[in-house]
Amino acid sequence: MLDVPKVREAIPALRKTVYLNSGFSGPSPQVVLDTIQQELRFEAEEGPTAPPVLARHRENRQRAQETVARLLNATPEEIVLTNNTTHGINIVLSGMTWRPEDEVVTCDLEHGSILVPALYLKRNYGVTVRIVRLQANDSPGTVLAQLEEAMRPRTKLVALSHIQYSNGQLLPMKEIHALAHRYGAHVLVDGAQSVGHMPVDVQDMDADYYAHTGHKWALGPDGVGALYVKRSLIEELEPRFLGGSAAAAYDREGNLTARTDSVMKFNLSTTSSPLIAGFTVSLSLLQDIGLDEVWRYNLALGAYARARLAAMPRVRITSPLEGPLTTGLVAFAVDGVEPREVTTYLWEQGQVVCRTLGYPDQAIRLSLHCFNNEEDVDRVAGLVGRLLERS
């Protein structure tokens, strides 16, 4: 059973704020902060390149890969450590070979981290980008039908978020993979809003590429994330940013043997070992709590928020209202009041941290995680009610 008060007590930011913005960046538990500080102190006191420090760097990277692999039901050999989700997405999109006849399928709800790189493929290589229009309350069957209508024999990649940042819509990702694979296409998943929010099993969904970050629902630090690459696809994905790890061997006479069959080829020189250690601890904490428990709780709290807000006059829910596409990410609009005015009022009057959205609706987004509770939602509803009375 999820012990919400215990989780809340472990997060310093909650002593001052009602934090409802894990979809942007989650607040780290104290043990994550302590781990980062301890690792920084160790480096400072021992010397950044002292043998014990370098050994710790290797251990931290290996432990992080193993932890991500357990989280996603993958193997460490399929995990690339990255800076964030966008970094992982770019490794895939830049690493594939593109021709003018190739096609990419995505949707209009996507974050710029997918849409912009995809449109650059169109700009630079003449690739066709098909953008499917989805609605918040589309059923899983409707989502699949819309995507299949956009599929063609030349579709090379489907690029979608597991949970849409713009309205919290959960896409039927296992079925999307099966659909894409029938057309001979691969699937790139943006997991920024899903990892830490819900269980993710890349084997069960037969995933090809799955990118995520540590700083959102995973409650880790900025600057660290991971990319899963299916073992059978590692060799065909080319590294475009190159360092020494991209070579299996080279010499000073101009000879090179490229590394092809290992995710090590995507590694670039120095990274922050303290941040990687903090990332590992944050993921381990969520695994210890149990992602199934976290997911059930987030779903229930999301349902409570939708019901609470939808009952208010002039408040309109812009997220899926019910059913299998709902999540703990809830968006709503207040008729006659700009979203920015609402989020500013929530902060100034109640120290509520949330964010505004510009598409597909002008809305306010609440990210409801395992440290939030019904009192947090009630605080938002009460403040929105006061704002409506004033306006």
Pair 330, 315 in one domain: yes
Chain-centroid distance, C-alpha 312: 31
Q: How far apart are CA 30 and CA 12, in angstroms?
A: 6
On whether residue 20 sits in a domain, the answer given is no
Closest of 73, 90, 70, 74 to residue 82, by C-alpha: 90
Pair 57, 157 in one domain: yes
Pair 88, 204 in one domain: yes
Pair 143, 212 in one domain: yes
Cis status, amide bond into 360, omega within 30 of 0 = yes
On whether residue 154 sits in a domain, the answer given is yes
Look at residue 184 in the predicted model and tell me its pLDDT: 98
Pair 169, 281 in one domain: yes
CATH number at residue 305: 3.90.1150.10
Pair 279, 360 in one domain: no
Pair 239, 305 in one domain: no
Max alpha carbon distance in the chain (Å)?
A: 77
Within 10 angstroms of residue 265's Cβ, the number of other Cβ atoms is 22
Q: How far apart are CA 238 and CA 245, in angstroms?
A: 13
On whether residue 23 sits in a domain, the answer given is no
Provide the number of structural domains found in the chain: 2
Check: CB of residue 136 under 8 Å from CB of residue 169: yes
Look at residue 126 in the predicted model and tell me its pLDDT: 98
Among 258, 287, 316, the domain-final residue is 287
DSSP H helical segments within the chain, as ranges? 4-9, 30-46, 51-72, 85-95, 112-125, 140-150, 173-182, 273-289, 291-310, 339-350, 374-390
Among 241, 259, 287, the domain-final residue is 287
Pair 254, 344 in one domain: no
Pair 338, 208 in one domain: no
On whether residue 5 sits in a domain, the answer given is no
Check: CB of residue 172 under 8 Å from CB of residue 154: no
On whether residue 315 sits in a domain, the answer given is yes
CATH number at residue 222: 3.40.640.10
Within 10 angstroms of residue 218's Cβ, the number of other Cβ atoms is 28
Q: What is the amino acid identity at position 159?
A: A
Pair 173, 63 in one domain: yes
> What b-and-e string marks burial along 369-387, b requiring 16 or more CB atoms within 10 Å of the CB?
bbbbbeebbebbbebbeeb
Look at residue 146 in the predicted model and tell me its pLDDT: 98
On whether residue 26 sits in a domain, the answer given is no
Phi, psi of 253 (to 5 degrees): -100, 0
On whether residue 112 sits in a domain, the answer given is yes
Pair 198, 277 in one domain: yes
Among 244, 264, 287, the domain-final residue is 287
pTM of the full predicted structure?
0.97
Pair 175, 131 in one domain: yes
On whether residue 57 sits in a domain, the answer given is yes
Q: Give me the long-range contacts of 4-10 (CB less than 8 A, separation at least 24).
A: 4/297, 4/370, 4/371, 4/373, 7/289, 7/370, 7/371, 8/371, 8/373
How confident is the prediction along the chain (391 residues), in pLDDT tens digits per residue? Answer: 799 999 999 999 999 999 999 999 999 999 999 999 999 999 999 999 999 999 999 999 999 999 999 999 999 999 999 999 999 999 999 999 999 999 999 999 999 999 999 999 999 999 999 999 999 999 999 999 999 999 999 999 999 999 999 999 999 999 999 999 999 999 999 999 999 999 999 999 999 999 999 999 999 999 999 999 999 999 999 999 998 899 999 999 899 999 999 999 999 988 999 999 999 999 999 999 999 999 999 999 999 999 999 999 999 999 999 999 999 999 999 999 999 999 999 999 999 999 999 999 999 999 999 999 999 999 999 999 999 998 7
Structural domain span for residue 67 = 32-287
Any bridge partners for residue 187, and if so which? Answer: 158
